[in-house]
Amino acid sequence: MCGIVGYIGKKRAVDVILKGLSYLEYRGYDSAGIALISDNTAHIYKAPGKLSNLKEILSLEKEENINANIGIGHTRWATHGLPTEINAHPHHCNCGSLTIVHNGIIENYKDLKPDLEKKGCKFLSQTDTEVAAHLIAHEFADTKDLLKAVQNAVKKLKGAYAFCVTHKSMPDRIIAARKNAPLIIGVGEGENFIASDIPAIIEYTKKAIYLSDNQVAEIKTDSIKIYDENDNLIANKVENLPFEPIALSKMGYKHFMLKEIHEQPDVVRNILIDKIKSEDLAVVLDDVKLSKEELTKINRIQIIACGTSLHAGLVGKYIFEELTGIPVDVEASSEYIYRNTIADKNTLVIGISQSGETADTITAIKQAKEKNSHILIITNRKDSAMARLADSLLPINAGIEVSVAATKSYMAQLLSLYLLAIYTAENIGAKENNLVKEIKKELLTLPSKLETILNDTKNIENIAKKYSSFKNFIFIARGINYPTALEGALKLKEISYINATGYPAGELKHGPIAMLDETMPVLAVLNKGIVYDKVLSNCEEAKARQAKLIGVTNFIDEKHKNLFDDTVIIPEIPDIVSPALNIVVLQLLAYHISEYLGKDVDQPRNLAKSVTVE
């Protein structure tokens, strides 16, 4: 969602900020803006659309106006008001002295606005953020101290925010504040940085302070002071940032999504190292902070997540129930919250999130925490807000994922769930059987099977081209691959904007079959296993309605050879591990359709990589 970059130091702030914002483009945005302070004047530039529009405006500006050493920038993902220039950040007070960039939603902005209007504030935009600009400006008029003004103002704000504020009369400082939205302060020498996420600043520094909720920071060229919610100065906790700038390169691939799809064999290898040494040895998972005795007492598991992470959770349900016999509920975080969920100290609550910053999941986890359940977080960002809420933290270590469409993080989430389920089964003695062994053996061979698919994608590319003009798609599967159908459909719709829906294959005849004709391709995922014949029958039913059929399978016998219009044959794999292989075909199919249609693969419209508002 919105991206924030702030800079104070000796460099040209505009360069650092624009570059930083470009590294945050993956978060999703629809307008951009920057405020620079030079000669005791705040110069504000904003543009709807891509960052290139803002750069264009800046290129026409007089050098003396933009040659500043302090500034704040923003990419906006619209929540309140259209993505227009007027609604773009930075926002400012009426005299233009105070500027603010904000990520989050100020929920009580409508309550605060009338009072500010009575005091003479004129509102120009439809945003919630502008209320904060006026509120802080009023506090500043009273205190003449920007830090104090922000500290006073945040006590009146409700909702979520990460923001940076400057004042033209104090060009030696930026004030930053955070509550339920990410913000880090990059620590430099003779310069400091502020950003929503690491990529914006990693080129300049590998040291950062993660601002916590309700903290306010005063950032100058050579000092950073952090204050808690009671305005007490607290000690700085400087941490090393977890990755190198190279992680942000496409490494010769046309898009980050394609690069990330191809990274999956290594992601799997990386996650298995030291955890599964051989099929005969128990899984080692030091990150699980539950004793054997505590694990044995777990009588219920709840998995909460959103989007792709939710689909990983649905696969997790099948694995856990099969291996441990413990009942598992999987729920979208946004549905889990604001009702009386049933959980207690014997419930294991698993939160799954690539970013670790998804607001719905954070709220759900906080709700579960109140029930004294053990909170286990599976995330790609061990520096995230969600990671900080964990009793047990399982980092998936997939490396930074830049493409908005999640691919390698899904793979790593699946792997983490396999490991966790096996670990639980082995510790509670639920299954001392061949299935656990077989899964371990198969996981160890997964990287090479993934490579078999990735090394020859011509057939998938041809199918993508052939079907790219269809406006609708249905994905079907059963059992453990039903979530694969959901995830395949999500991938296709988010990057190609084609209407795609995943169904349990057996549900087709209960309604969706009415939509079938030659204009509605049906993609079926069918693995040799318990539901194979059933899915084949469902495919026959679809064929009988003239639907074009694509089969993704590891087995096709002579008599069904002509059933499918197109097939993708994947390597042999047992049903229970097959979601980790099948999904790669669907990722590639979605990628090539989107690429063929000329869509913005890595930054699809309206979407954000970290969804930091509820």
Length of the chain measured in residues: 614
Q: How far is the CB of 411 from ligand AGP (least distance, A)?
A: 12
CB 502 within 8 A of CB 509: no
Q: How far is the CB of 485 from ligand AGP (least distance, A)?
A: 15
> In angstroms, what is the C-alpha Rg of the chain?
26
Who contacts 562 (Cβ-Cβ below 8 Å, separation ≥6)? none
Q: Pairing relation of β-strands 347-353 and 300-305?
A: parallel
The reply to whether 10 belongs to the active site is no
Q: How far is the CB of 61 from ligand AGP (least distance, A)?
A: 35
Q: How far is the CB of 333 from ligand AGP (least distance, A)?
A: 8
384 vs 527 by CB, closer to ligand AGP:
384
199 vs 307 by CB, closer to ligand AGP:
307
Alpha helices, DSSP H only, in 90-182?
109-118, 129-143, 146-154
Concatenate the DSSP letters of all residues of 210-235 into one string.
EPPTTEEEEE-SS-EEEE-TTS-EE-
CB 525 within 8 A of CB 485: yes
The reply to whether 466 belongs to the active site is no
406 vs 485 by CB, closer to ligand AGP:
406
Q: Is the dihedral of CA 591, 592, 593, 598 positive or negative?
A: positive
6 vs 399 by CB, closer to ligand AGP:
399
CB 584 within 8 A of CB 450: yes
Identified catalytic residue from 2, 121, 306, 539: 2
Q: How far is the CB of 73 from ligand AGP (least distance, A)?
A: 23
> What strands, in cross-sheet order, belong to the sheet with 499-504?
499-504, 472-477, 522-526, 549-553, 566-569
> What does the alpha-carbon distance between residue 174 and residue 197 come to, in Å, rounded to a whole number?
17
Neighbours of 65 (CB within 10 A): 15
Q: How far is the CB of 439 from ligand AGP (least distance, A)?
A: 24
- CA 91, chain centre distance (Å): 27
Q: Is the dihedral of CA 84, 85, 88, 94 positive or negative?
A: negative
Q: How far is the CB of 20 from ligand AGP (least distance, A)?
A: 21
First to last CA, the chain: 11
Taking CB atoms, the residue at the shortest distance from ligand AGP is: 307
Q: Contact residues for ligand AGP (CB under 6 A)?
A: 306-309, 353-355, 358, 361, 404-406, 494, 607, 610-611
CB 368 within 8 A of CB 383: no
- Side-chain-facing half-sphere of 111: CA atoms under 13 Å: 7
Identify the DSSP state of 580: H
92 vs 259 by CB, closer to ligand AGP:
259
Q: How far is the CB of 604 from ligand AGP (least distance, A)?
A: 8
Q: Record the tokens describing residue 75, joined without a space.
A: 């990419």
CB 92 within 8 A of CB 185: no
Helix axis angle, 482-496 relative to 307-324, nearest 10°?
170
Identified catalytic residue from 259, 317, 449, 609: 609
102 vs 311 by CB, closer to ligand AGP:
311
290 vs 611 by CB, closer to ligand AGP:
611
Who contacts 220 (Cβ-Cβ below 8 Å, separation ≥6)? 8, 172, 173, 192
> What strands, in cross-sheet order, belong to the sheet with 224-227?
91-92, 98-106, 159-167, 174-179, 215-219, 224-227, 233-234
Whose tokens are 């977890």? That residue is 242
> What does the alpha-carbon distance between residue 313 and residue 63 come to, in Å, rounded to a whole number?
53
26 vs 318 by CB, closer to ligand AGP:
26
Q: Record the tokens describing residue 497, joined without a space.
A: 């904007």
List active site positions: 2, 609
